[in-house]
């Protein structure tokens, strides 16, 4: 009985260690999106937080609505990529974890 408890505690410690490692890896994720014309670049960090937005001075030539549309499109593309990267990391750490379902998409 004591051996079973020790094995369970060892497995629990390993699981906690893997969970910390997965959390750190996901928290460190960052993805970058760049417009096709190279005028707009943004970086999203974990949890979809916008870390950087860079606009080439030539964006002044774009209509404001077109600029806004491109930024929204890039944010959505970057969020999709971030979810994919997060799911990939979670699957690598926890093969049985339904990462796609957890992250709101079918991965």
pLDDT in tens, 64-103: 999 999 999 999 999 999 988 888 887 877 777 665 555 5
pLDDT in tens, 13-65: 888 888 788 778 888 889 999 998 999 999 999 888 999 999 999 999 999 99
Give residue for tokens 């890896």. Answer: 25
pLDDT at 107: 44
Go through 45-70 and write b for each residue having 16 or more CB atoms within 10 A of its CB, e for each that does not.
ebeeeeeeeeeeeebeebeeeebeeb
pLDDT at 67: 94
Three-class HEC string of 23-65: HHHHHCCEEEEECCCCCEEEEEEHHHCEEEEEECHHHHHCCHH
- For the chain, domains (ranges, CATH) are 2-101 (3.30.1310.10)
The CA-based dihedral angle spanning residues 66, 48, 41, 89, taken in that order and rounded to the nearest 10 degrees: -130
What is the total residue count of the chain? Answer: 107
Give residue for tokens 């960052």. Answer: 30
Non-local CB neighbours of 101 within 8 Å, separated by 6+ positions: 107
């Amino acid at each position: 009985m004591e051996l079973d408890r020790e094995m369970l505690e060892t497995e629990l410690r390993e699981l906690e260690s893997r969970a910390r490692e997965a959390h750190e890896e996901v928290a460190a994720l960052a993805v970058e999106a760049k417009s096709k014309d190279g005028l707009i670049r943004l970086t999203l960090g974990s949890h979809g937080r916008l870390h950087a937005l860079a606009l080439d001075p030539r964006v002044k030539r774009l209509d404001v609505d077109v600029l806004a549309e491109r930024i929204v499109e890039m944010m959505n593309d970057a969020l999709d990529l971030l979810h994919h990267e997060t799911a990939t990391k979670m699957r690598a750490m926890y093969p049985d974890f339904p990462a796609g379902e957890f992250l709101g998409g079918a991965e």
